Chain A
Amino acid sequence: MRDRSFTPGRILIYLVVTLFAAGYLAPLVVVVLNSLRTNEEIAQGSMIGWPQHLAWGNYALAWSGFCVAETCSGIRPYMLNSALITIPATIVSTLLGAVAGYAVSLWRFRGDNWIYGIVTLGLFLPQQMRLLPWTIVLRDIGLINTLTGLVLIHTIQGLSFTVLFCRNYYIAIPHELIRAARIDGAGFFRIFWRIILPLSSPILIVTVIWQFTHIWNEFLFGVTFTTGQQQPVTAALIALSAAVADIPQHGVQSAAVIIAALPTLLIYLFGGRYFVRGLTAGAVK
């Protein structure tokens, strides 16, 4: 159909996509290069330039020596916070979403469509409508400014996505399969465990990747409900930029930015296919 030879038109196409690719990559390249330049070097020139000698020390400093507010422990504790929030919230919301998605798609009960409709409202409702109530709930149950509080929020709010993903996937599983198993006397969990879960790996991977990326990158709840040493890394990065506004330390800050972005970037690089599937699944709500 379309040929692969190098006509002027095709050279133009390659030229344009290469320029675009360079533009998309530029911010990443700039930050990676800066993370290897000393603060003085950046201060003398601009943020854009080659490192004169590789200043690997930036990473050590960003990881465990850098000061955010009064504490000089680098971004390590905040990375740990993010991990302690993201991993349990991802696992629990995915598991609950799988069970609930299976229940609303294959194990019909009275009012299931209504409940499902309300749960998916969570995809659209602005977070700002839920900020004050969460503040009050977290304070009343004593979880304000705790990692557990953020795990709770992300688990409950994440259900809107996980139930949607799983339900849309399970709805395509033939009902006969379930009916046959029920005639054989299998109950809700037995069917889930023996029939549904073994079929679920594609959707579970998508859901886990989506939830992990979302929760890791989340900022509004992190900054609203936690302070100081309890903050996730996104909130800490903002505090860090504000803290060093007087004496810029762009080399170390760049290293911190790279470290903070690394978990989701790695997931994207290794699970790109599933990441994109999550994006498009989220789009066709």
Chain B
Amino acid sequence: MTNAASTATQPGRSATSEAVRRLPEYLMIWVPLLLSAAHLISFSIWTIWISFTPSTLIPVSGWVGLRNYTAVLASRNWQIAFDNLLLFGIAFVLLSLITGLLLAILLDQRIRGENVLRTIFLYPLAVSFVVTGTVWSWLLNPGIGIEKLAHDLGWTAFHFDWLVNRDMAIWTIVIAAIWQSSGFAMALFLAGLRSVDADIIKAAQIDGAGPIRTYWRVILPTLWPITITVVVIQLQFAISAFDLVRALTNGGPGIATQLPALVVYDLMFQRSQLGRGAAAAVLMLLILLAVLLPYAAWRYVQRRQANHA
């Protein structure tokens, strides 16, 4: 502690009693920080270690090399989960970006009731994924949801059975996820739009640029850093998505909407395949790192440029 040097020990007090007096301080600083840091490091290392052992029902030591990894990678469950993650990740991120940007641009037009609208677009974020998934599972269920409503209203040719259709079920997760978190993209984009220098916009308008041209050429290019941040955070959510799928489709029909997080849970707690479950968790981490490391590098370059400017 640097403050030990500045706060001189009072005369008549020994160094020991000084340390005792300051014990609560040390405890309050170090215990939570060290608990947090230590559990993150040790838990991660432990899971990585288990992924190389033949553990099934209980953790055991031993070394099986990459056998758990090859088993997971070769399983149909994981292959479907990975393909789904690619589709879900890309579709969800792109569509929520487009929706969020569109909403932000519309709200940026000085419209009446902006506060109310912003509140409406953001409230799904306050609701749990379990609730979101449950509600959308009702709406999208052909027997009781939108399809049934259309049939009751006399439109019997209407067909919307994605929830129970193997090929389309993953899109129901995309729909619910967009409903849940496009407001987040909107909030960040709106903050970005509002921070664009008004003088630059005015200058563009004086040069005769119309609103669309002004947005396209002047305003939107400034949103790149925000866009990248939104993409990374939404991808992070997509990679670890669990509750939403559990509540909406529970991975079904069959295993059509399987995602990596569900595979991990299934291996660890339903099939008692601890080694394979840990391997699947490490694979999730690797997918995440494939997104986060380039982002961290980009942030680093940005910061350096900002410092040099």
Residue B40, interface by CB 8 Å = yes
Cβ B120 vs Cβ A24 within 8 A = yes
A64 — which chain B residues lie within 8 A by C-beta?
Answer: none
| Assembly CA distance A250 to B137 (angstroms) | 12
Which residue in B28, B179, B264 is a CB contact (below 8 Å) of A24? Answer: B179
A185 — which chain B residues lie within 8 A by C-beta?
Answer: 7
Nearest chain A residue, comparing its CB with the CB of B261 = A128
Cβ B43 vs Cβ A126 within 8 A = no
B188 — which chain A residues lie within 8 A by C-beta?
Answer: 280, 283
Residues 178-203 of B, flagged 1 when their CB comes within 8 A of A and 0 if not, give 01000110011001000000100110
Nearest chain A residue, comparing its CB with the CB of B292 = A124
B233 — which chain A residues lie within 8 A by C-beta?
Answer: 283
Which residues from 120 to 141 on chain B have a C-beta closer than 8 Å to any C-beta of chain A?
Answer: 120-132, 134-139, 141
Closest CB in chain A relative to B231 CB, distance in Å = 11
| Assembly CA distance A13 to B46 (angstroms) | 54
Which of B29-37, B72-80, B162-170 forms part of the interface with chain A?
A: B29-37
A261 — which chain B residues lie within 8 A by C-beta?
Answer: 127-128, 131
Which residues from 205 to 254 on chain A have a C-beta closer than 8 Å to any C-beta of chain B?
Answer: 213, 216-220, 223-224, 234, 237-238, 241, 248, 250, 253
Closest CB in chain A relative to B233 CB, distance in Å = 6
Cβ B247 vs Cβ A264 within 8 A = no
Residue A201, interface by CB 8 Å = no
A217 — which chain B residues lie within 8 A by C-beta?
Answer: 127-130
Residues 286-298 of B, flagged 1 when their CB comes within 8 A of A and 0 if not, give 0010001000000
Given pairs A119-B37, A220-B243, 16 additional interface contacts (CB within 8 A): A4-B110, A10-B109, A30-B138, A48-B145, A109-B2, A116-B33, A118-B41, A126-B261, A129-B285, A131-B281, A187-B25, A188-B3, A250-B138, A250-B144, A261-B131, A280-B188
Nearest chain B residue, comparing its CB with the CB of A99 = B28
Cβ B2 vs Cβ A125 within 8 A = no
Q: Is the interface of B mostly helix, strand, loop or mixed?
A: helix
Nearest chain B residue, comparing its CB with the CB of A28 = B123
Given the known interface contacts A48-B149, A118-B41, A268-B126, the answer about A280 and B187 at a Cβ–Cβ threshold of 8 Å is yes
Closest CB in chain A relative to B191 CB, distance in Å = 6
Residues 95-108 of B, flagged 1 when their CB comes within 8 A of A and 0 if not, give 00000000100110
Residue A159, interface by CB 8 Å = yes
Residues of B bordering A, CB below 8 Å: 1-3, 6-7, 22, 24-25, 28-29, 32-37, 39-44, 46-47, 50, 59, 103, 106-107, 109-112, 117, 119-132, 134-139, 141, 144-146, 148-149, 152, 179, 183-184, 187-188, 191, 198, 201-202, 211, 229-230, 233, 236, 239-240, 242-243, 246-247, 261, 264-265, 268-269, 274, 277-278, 280-282, 284-285, 288, 292
| Assembly CA distance A103 to B2 (angstroms) | 11
Total cross-chain contacts (CB, 8 A) = 267
B36 — which chain A residues lie within 8 A by C-beta?
Answer: 118-119, 122, 156-157, 159-160, 163
Cβ A13 vs Cβ B106 within 8 A = yes
A-B contact pairs, 13 of them (CB 8 A): A2-B110, A24-B179, A24-B183, A27-B135, A48-B149, A100-B29, A129-B43, A129-B44, A134-B43, A182-B6, A220-B243, A260-B130, A264-B127
Cβ B47 vs Cβ A130 within 8 A = yes
How many A residues touch B, CB cutoff 8 Å? Answer: 93
Closest CB in chain A relative to B255 CB, distance in Å = 17
A129 — which chain B residues lie within 8 A by C-beta?
Answer: 43-44, 47, 281-282, 284-285
Cβ B125 vs Cβ A279 within 8 A = yes
Cβ B145 vs Cβ A46 within 8 A = yes
Interface pairs A-B: 5 shortest CB-CB: A217-B128, A268-B126, A46-B148, A133-B43, A118-B37
